[in-house]
Amino acid sequence: MSESQQADKQESYDLEPMYSTNEISGKCLKCLSEKELHGCLWQLLRDDIIDKAVQKKYEALINFLQSPESERLRIESEKHLAEGKKVSVRITVDDGQPKYELIIKN
């Protein structure tokens, strides 16, 4: 399998929720996912030609929001954010199979 075929089969998207404070308005994982989802939808509706990359991201976000993992990752990410850590959730779709990973930075 060539490298370009492998890249076609695997996509990944990073979501970086932020903790809200008096000075900084953050977004929880669910709100951030929904915002990204709506952005994809608007782009798909606005463009005359369907962008396959945007369509794949849209589908990955829908699957993530509907998965039981999204709630667990939201709770876990908020716990780390409250401790002052930066987090990222990576959504990877490899050959149609989603994988969700919480990355703690700091």
Cβ proximity of 101 and 14 under 8 Å: no
Alpha-helical regions (H) of the chain: 3-9, 29-46, 52-66, 68-82
For residue 58, count other CB atoms closer than 10 A to its CB: 19
Identify the three-state secondary structure at position 84.
coil
pLDDT at 6 over 50: no
pLDDT category, 10, cuts 50, 70, 90?
confident
The pTM score is 0.82
Cα 101 to chain center, whole Å?
10
- Domain range for 86 is 3-105
In one-letter notation, the amino acid at residue 104 is I
Number of domains in the chain: 1
